[in-house]
Every structure is written in structure tokens, then in C-alpha cells.
Structure 1
Amino acid sequence: MLTSRDETRHGSLAGVDLQILEELRADGRITANDLADRVGVSRTAAARRLGQLLDEDIVRVVGIVHPLTLGIRSLAHVSLTVDKPVRRVGETLGAMPEVPFVSLASGSFPLIAEVRARDDAELAAVLDRVRSVDGVLATETLYYTNLAVDVLRPAQAADVEIDRVDAKILSHLQFDGRMPFTTLAEKVGVSTGTARTRVLRMIDNGVVRIGAIVRTGRRESRIDVGVGISLRGPVSQAGDLLVEMPEVRFLAETLGRYDLLATIDANSLTDAVSVLDRLRAMRSVLRIDSWVHLDTVKESYHYPMEVRP
């Protein structure tokens, strides 16, 4: 086990950082003691490095609820061409609450965005606003018919009842998944025991997944690759195969120029190429296009919490 003195002697903890990030993606509320045991460093080193990763905005720990659980039923991927500085256009798009994800990308489309709305009418209205942004030259839209894998892989829990206390708790966890139970209880107006019980129940019931989102461009050697896939035969069969791939961090069945849209999380460009080769080797795959997410302008999957009367 590395001690604080070992940490100084080794200088860089890049490898340990990546292990910490993987543990946080699996369990965003992991304690410093458990993190130290799993990663193989002292508790002091684990707590200090975790604090640095959070403070430096390399990683954010958030609670993510499957959009269908909250009645968010119309989702789309938008590829954009621009005639103004791409980051400026991306920041304007990121200011829209219905746009949870904006990325600067390589390839034919320098800007990628996602829109999530409660119904198709709201989706159409948001897409009109996107097309009206100064600097947006053209857009291509993929409509999601099935969100098979969302970021952090939250399950759809449409049959689970969420009352007003649960909704208040989720509204805070969506911004800070590691918020202490005492702080959460004060903000919601319940006891610490009630806050703890409700959070653990919602995690166990699949209402929320709490994990780490790492900003592209701040991820050491890791890389996100977007993949558009055209298929022969039933889309669901190929989708089932991709769901089982651990490198797939996002997957949707779509209407548009692709049948499947995926995001591949790889340790390096070499690993990304290997994953793409595996996809091309699938019998049902006719063609794939890929692009690299160079920098994330916005990734924030929080929604207004509404409770049915």
C-alpha cells in the first residue's frame, strides 16, 4: 500500500487517479476508507486525491435519474455545422436547460448536442431555438426511439412512486451526489436518518444512480468516441450486443442517418480503434462513422422534479 511518503516519492498518481475515477463511476458515494482499500493507497492519500479531483473540476459526482422515470420522453442527438467560433456557439447552446450535453468534436460536425424534452412538441420547439442560435449554419437530428444505455446506466423505474421528499432529495443529488446526509437533511427539512434511508432506498430501487462524470479533455489518457452505426436486420439484436460491451457508456436506437448511436469510453486511441474494429466485425453492421469528443462544454443531466398529485 502506498503511503503519503510513497506518494511524494513516486511524484505522479495518474494511475491511481484513474482507479479512483473508476471506483467513483461505480459508486459515487464511496467512503475514503473503502476507496483506499480498493485502490491500494492510504486513507489520507485517497481522501486528499479525491478532494483534488473534485476541487479541480476533473470529475463531478452526481445523481442521474433515467429520463423516462421523470417523464422525459422525447430525446434527440443534434450534429451542428457553424460559421462562428465553435466554443462560443456551444456555450450558447449549453445555456438552454433542455440541452444537457454539448461537446466540441472532430469530424464533419464540430459541435454535438443532445436535447431532452417532455414531449415531441417541446422537442420541436427546442430544436427551432437551436437552429436560431447565432453561428449555427445547419443541423442534422437523430431521434431516439429507445435509450438503451444512459450515462452511468440508470435503470428506468417508471413504476416507483416518488413523493415530494424524494423529489427534493433528488433535486439536490442531481447537482452533488456526495452531499453529506446531514447537509441533505437540513436542505430538505427531514432528519438525517430519514435522508439516509430515502437515498439508499432510491439507489436500491434503481431510481437514481450516483457516480462520476469526467470532463472530456480533463481525463488523463481516456477518450470518448461517438459512433453512428448503420445496420442490416433488427436494430434491437445489435443493440443487445452493444449493451453488454463495458466500453459503451451511452447507446440509443435512433431514427435518421444511423440506426444506433453510441459513445465508447476508451483508455487510449489504440483501445478505441480496437473497439471500433470489434463493431465492424459484427455481421449486422453495414457501416460505422466515428468522431472524437475533444472537449465537453456542458454535461449536466438534471431535470425539474415534478411529483404527481
Structure 2
Amino acid sequence: MLKLDETDLRILQSLQEDGRRPYTDIAKEYGISEGKVRFRINRMLENGVFEFVIHTNPNKIGLHVQAIIGIITKIGFRDHVAEELASFKEVRFVGAFAGKYDIMIQAYFSSNEKLVEFTDHYLSKVNGIEKSDVFLELKDYKDSFSYIELSNE
């Protein structure tokens, strides 16, 4: 496992604030060379510490309905169900959980009708699902992928 030092964490924090930020600006801010910033970013990318992704605002592209769906599976079917759910384009996240639900998914839809179609025509046909509960998001208070917070010393 790659050991990250404070410089790595500061670089990550800078990229979380603005992933398009030039390496020269990051280097200048932390008093290191652009080559060192580039080397560290490439090393972290190669080691899977982070990846560059575009985080699209679902509402801006017509996906106005977000659902979190809790799923209870038949014993021995969790992996099969998770793999099948991961194949649906509407599903953004699939995770195994301890507690009431074996699997939780997050999915986006253009309308309530599309959500109903998904649950009635697709989810209902996945072999191994025993029960599901749908939770609709009413308001988004935070949606972030920023995990690093360093003090500005």
C-alpha cells in the first residue's frame, strides 16, 4: 500500500477543490517543483489512490428522481444480485451492507414513471431478490467526494 505524506494529502486536497487546477499553481502554493507535483499525482493515480472523474449534476441532465433502494436477498444470492444490479445504466452505486438490507443501490431516473418501470419491469425480475424498499430523495443537502481536510497552517 502506498504511504501518503502531508504533501500528497495537500495535493489531493487541491485537486478536490478544483480538478482542473494547473500543476504549476499547486507547485507554487506548496513551494515544490511542478515535476514533483506531476510525479506524485501520477504515482497516486497508478496506485489507485484516486481517479479523475466528472461528477455530473443529475438534475441538469434530466434525471430529476433519485432513489435509494434497500434490497433483501435470498441466502447465497447477494453477489449474483449485486452483479446484476450493477449492469443497469440507471444504477450509480451498489454496495453490500450489514443490517436490515443486504444491498443498497442508488439510482437516477428522469421521472417517477421511469422509477416505477424500473422496479416493476427490471428489479422484480432479478433472481434472488426477496424484498426491496424504495426511498425517494426529497432534497439534496450534500453530495461530495471530498474526504481530505487539512488545516491551513
Root-mean-square deviation over aligned CA pairs: 2.5
The aligned residue for residue 86 of structure 2 is 243
Equivalent residue letter for 1:256: G
Structure 2 CA distance for partners of 1:180 and 1:270, relative to 1, 3 Å: farther
The alignment status of 1:170 with 2:12, answered yes or no, reads yes
Contact 2:81 2:127 in 1 (8 A): no
- Out of 131, 138, 146, which is 1:302 matched to? 146
Equivalent residue letter for 1:225: A
Shift in Å at residue 170 of structure 1?
A: 1.0
Mapped partners of 2:111, 2:36: distance in 1: 43
Shift in Å at residue 210 of structure 1?
A: 2.3
The aligned residue for residue 109 of structure 2 is 266
Gaps (5+ residues) in structure 2?
Answer: none
- Give the 3-state SS of the residue equivalent to 2:131 in structure 1: strand
- Out of 47, 52, 55, which is 1:213 matched to? 55
The aligned residue for residue 279 of structure 1 is 123
TM-score, with structure 2 as normaliser: 0.78
- Give the 3-state SS of the residue equivalent to 1:177 in structure 2: coil
Mapped partners of 1:160, 1:268: distance in 2: 43
Equivalent residue letter for 2:34: T
Q: How does 1:150-229 map to 2 (within 5 A)?
A: 159-215=1-57, 218-222=59-63, 223-229=65-71
Mapped partners of 1:242, 1:266: distance in 2: 15
Structure 2 CA distance for partners of 1:201 and 1:270, relative to 1, 3 Å: farther
Contact 1:215 1:296 in 2 (8 A): no
Q: Deviations over 1:169-214 (max 9, x none)?
A: 1122222222221222222322222222322332233211222334
Shift in Å at residue 305 of structure 1?
A: 6.4
Structure 2 CA distance for partners of 1:188 and 1:249, relative to 1, 3 Å: farther
- Give the 3-state SS of the residue equivalent to 2:60 in structure 1: coil
Structure 2 CA distance for partners of 1:275 and 1:162, relative to 1, 3 Å: farther
The aligned residue for residue 136 of structure 2 is 292
Equivalent residue letter for 1:260: I
Q: How does 1:24-103 map to 2 (within 5 A)?
A: none
- Give the 3-state SS of the residue equivalent to 2:17 in structure 1: coil
TM-score, with structure 1 as normaliser: 0.42
Mapped partners of 2:50, 2:104: distance in 1: 23
Mapped partners of 2:38, 2:134: distance in 1: 42
Percent identity, aligned pairs only? 27
Gaps (5+ residues) in structure 1?
Answer: 1-158
Mapped partners of 1:273, 1:196: distance in 2: 47
Shift in Å at residue 303 of structure 1?
A: 2.6
- Larger RCO of the pair (alpha carbons < 8 Å, separation 6+): 2
Contact 1:280 1:287 in 2 (8 A): no
Shift in Å at residue 278 of structure 1?
A: 1.3
Structure with a larger share of its residues in strand: 1
- Give the 3-state SS of the residue equivalent to 1:209 in structure 2: coil
Shift in Å at residue 215 of structure 1?
A: 4.4
Equivalent residue letter for 2:4: I
